[in-house]
Structure 1
Amino acid sequence: MDDEVPAAAARPRRDRLPRNRQRERVLHLVRKHDGPVDAAEIAAQIGLHVTTVRFHLDALCDEGAIVRTRLHRAGAGRPRTGYVAVEDRLDYRVLAEVLAMELGRIEETRRERAERAGRRWAGQMVAAIEADVRPGVGPSEADALDRLATVAAQIFARMGFAPELLAAKRSRGKREREIRLHACPIRDLARSHPEVGCGLHRGVLAGLVRDTTMSAELEPFVAPELCLARMVSNE
């Protein structure tokens, strides 16, 4: 009949939904995943072009609803960008701001106290990791630097940093390991109060160094979404 509307025309197209509705659906799908998910997978599930999905993912990152991380390929090739939902970010940020001020009125005092807390926290996390490791499993056969790097990567993973442990290399005649930290879990605090946020994480890294022949340093925000943890063997 002339009044009949083709089925394809009768169905509302997904890419014609208001942008806020599209963004809500993108966020919902990211939250449904237990781990990181990339733009292509979201696009396939939601029925939108991958460029449109990336636009919404970037906006959600700017809003603090999700964070970027890395998805590593099984073989050669550059790692893909993945996205992870951040739960209750606003409440945590407010709490973190309050705690930052409770550490002291002077910036140097806050830094010292945050680093001290980080060292104590590192000891607790190392104890938890060692309790989970069965005899004969883990990096016990590796040298001291590799053990430190492996444990540090595990700790940073538990903290939500999406760490990427790089292969050992030599710099200025010394052997070193580097960890790229792609997703700071307290990014807002680290930027507004680096003496607290970065101080805490420096303390964690320092607390992992038990061998006097080792040293470690943290370089915050070498790129907008990247920090570096570097461990060096001084032998």
Structure 2
Amino acid sequence: MSPRQRDRVRSLIADADTPIDAQTVAAALSVHVTTARFHLNNLVEEGSAVAVGLPPVGVGRPRVGYRLVVAPPIDDLMLMLIARLGATPEEREELAAEVGHAWAAKHLPTTDLGPDVLPDPVVLAETILTRLGFRITDVVSAFGQHEISLCGCPLEELEKDLPEVARGVVRGLLEATLAAGSATLSSHYAVQVRPAPGGACELRLNLSQVAEASSSH
């Protein structure tokens, strides 16, 4: 497959509303499925796409789907503009959290399963983070508390120059995701984001049960 054909694969994924598998790509481009899978995997390795699990068709193993990484462009001018949005790091983080809420709203359905149903907060977090191009590196759960380690590569430039903005965006993203998952879920968990020790673009995301939620069980 030539570079131009590789661009056609990328465009095919970008135009799809949901993740598509190698069979779909192969049929659309009239190539062998092995060829389609080879170039899809290359897109994943270069960071242009992510692989997600898809339900099987009929009886069989789960399929692998692919979607493009959504990476907002950040350059020097944009960084300078963002830096002026707040007078202090704390103000910038809160403003960034509002942006995170809006970002989540564009990529998550606003469905409420009802007050008596609480979805798994880790599953919700992993779903939106993976969808937006973050890479989960570790998950530790104990006694209702969850710590998720992730590579913040989509916000790498922000993390490097304006770390409080990167943290605010991720926090707002997760707060909105929990609220979308259930009307009561966001009141059960507090979201905290901090840099991982020694990680260039690594972040630690904590989902901690709040006291009111813990005492009600």
Instruction: Check conservation: 1:205, 1:218, Cα contact below 8 A.
Output: no
Separation (CA, whole Å) in 1 of partners of 2:99 and 2:60? 36
Match of 2:50 in 1: 68
Instruction: Say whether residues 1:29 and 2:12 are aligned partners.
Output: yes
1:99 aligns with 2:78: yes
Aligned-residue CA RMSD in angstroms? 5.2
Q: Provide the residue aligned with 1:7 in structure 2.
A: none
Residue-by-residue CA offset, 1:134-177 (whole Å, 9 max, x unaligned): xxx523123xxx37939x939x74995389xxxxx961xx2246
User: With structure 1 as the length reference, what TM-score do the two structures score?
Assistant: 0.52
More displaced stretch, 46-55 vs 21-30: 46-55
Aligned to 2:182: none
Counterpart of 1:117? 95
* 1:231 partnered with 2:211: no
| CA deviation after TM superposition for structure 1 residue 121, in Å | 4.4
Q: How does 1:171-190 map to 2 (within 5 A)?
A: 171=142, 174-176=143-145, 186-190=154-158
Query: Which residue number in structure 2 is paired with residue 10 of structure 1?
Result: none
CA distance in 2: counterparts of 1:124 and 1:45, whole angstroms:
34
Give the match's secondary structure for 2:20.
coil
Deviation at 1:219, TM superposition (A): 6.8
Residue correspondences, number: 189
Task: State how far apart, in whole Å, the 2-side matches of 1:116 and 1:101 are.
Answer: 17
Tell me if structure 2 keeps the 8 A contact 1:179–1:228.
yes
Once the two structures are superposed, the pairs formed by residues 85-164 of structure 1 within 5 Å of their partners are 85=68, 92-94=72-74, 97-104=76-83, 109-110=88-89, 112-121=90-99, 138-142=113-117, 146=118, 149=121, 153=124, 157=128, 160-161=131-132
> What does residue 215 of structure 1 align with?
190
Any stretches of 5+ residues in structure 1 without a counterpart?
Answer: 1-17, 164-168
| Distance in 2 between residues matched to 1:124 and 1:26, nearest whole Å | 29
Q: 1:57 to 1:191 in 2, by over 3 A?
A: farther
Q: 1:100 to 1:78 in 2, by over 3 A?
A: farther
Q: Among residues 171, 179, 184, which one is paired with 1:202 in the alignment? A: 171
Cα distance, 1:23 vs structure 2: 0.9
Give the alignment's TM-score, normalised by structure 2.
0.55
Task: Give the 3 Å change call, closer, same or farther, for CA 148–218 of structure 1 in structure 2.
Answer: farther
Change (3 A) 1:76 1:157: farther
1:52 to 2:28 alignment = no
Displacement of 1:19: 1.5
Structure 2 CA distance for aligned equivalents of residues 139 and 125 of structure 1: 24
Task: Tell me how far apart the structure 2 counterparts of residues 44 and 178 of structure 1 sit (CA, whole Å).
Answer: 41
For structure 2, the 5+ residue unaligned runs are: 135-139, 180-184
Residue aligned with 1:57, SS: helix
> What's the offset of the Cα at 1:93?
0.9
| Alpha-carbon distance in structure 2 between the residues aligned to 1:27 and 1:201 | 26
Indicate the percent of aligned positions where both proteins have the same amino acid: 25
**C-alpha separation in 2, matches of 1:58 and 1:45:** 17
Q: Which amino acid aligns with 2:55?
A: R
RCO higher in structure (CA 8 A, sep ≥6): 2
